[in-house]
Amino acid sequence: MENIETTQPTQQAKSIITVNENQGLVAKDNSELLRMIQVMMKGQAFPKSLDTEAKVIAAWQVAASLKIPPAVAIQNLAIVNGSICMWGQLPKALAEATGELEEFKLVVIDEKQDPICLENKNLNAPVWGAVCVIKRKGRDRNEYAFTVEDMKRANLDKKQGPWKDYTKIMLMRRAMGTAIKFEFPDAVMGVPIAEYDFHQAPDIKEVGPTQSKAEMLKKAFAV
């Protein structure tokens, strides 16, 4: 992978990319991998921060180290502050992939520390914080929380963006990120979690493509 050059594809690079038994694309060599990446980039299949071949290849390497299909993992990877990091549900997916996640519960709570839910008839209650309950096989059950007060101490409430506009989601992701970081460090392989390490949510900040699907497909395969 380190020998890949981000140049225009040669005639050899335009060879047919194979499909495996699970209908996944498989590149036979570095040239075909580059060709596949270029096709996906033209179809806007990657997060917006991965806007060059070099960035995609770097993220692809990180995705491969996580031991799940890179084309899948890369959808939840982004470059934040110069670092490749994961976001959203990927941290939990990696924990589940170990087969050792015995218990997982993620809730938002009110000032009485009751879960905000229909059963408690408090759906309109102001959010006080979020709690992630987690248990890994062979370990104690633990709880990790991140509250509105924690958010204020970090001055996150004063910044424009997801913490101000989607406070509940960010509190939940921060609590989950903390839990996965502490309980499954081997699963995330030291890759930063955007909501934990950088207080950001790449998916919330990004705006989807304005092109129609037909236009995107036409552009993708015109290589």
- pLDDT(8) > 80: no
Kindly tell me if the per-residue pLDDT of 223 is higher than 60. no
pTM listed for this prediction: 0.74
Give the 3-state secondary structure percentages of the chain, helix then strand then coil, rounded to 5: 45, 15, 40
What band does 27 get if pLDDT is binned at 50, 70 and 90? low
User: In angstroms, rounded to a whole number, what is the distance separating the alpha carbons of residues 209 and 44?
Assistant: 8
On the 0-12 / 13-18 / 19+ scale of CB atoms within 10 A, 132 is: buried
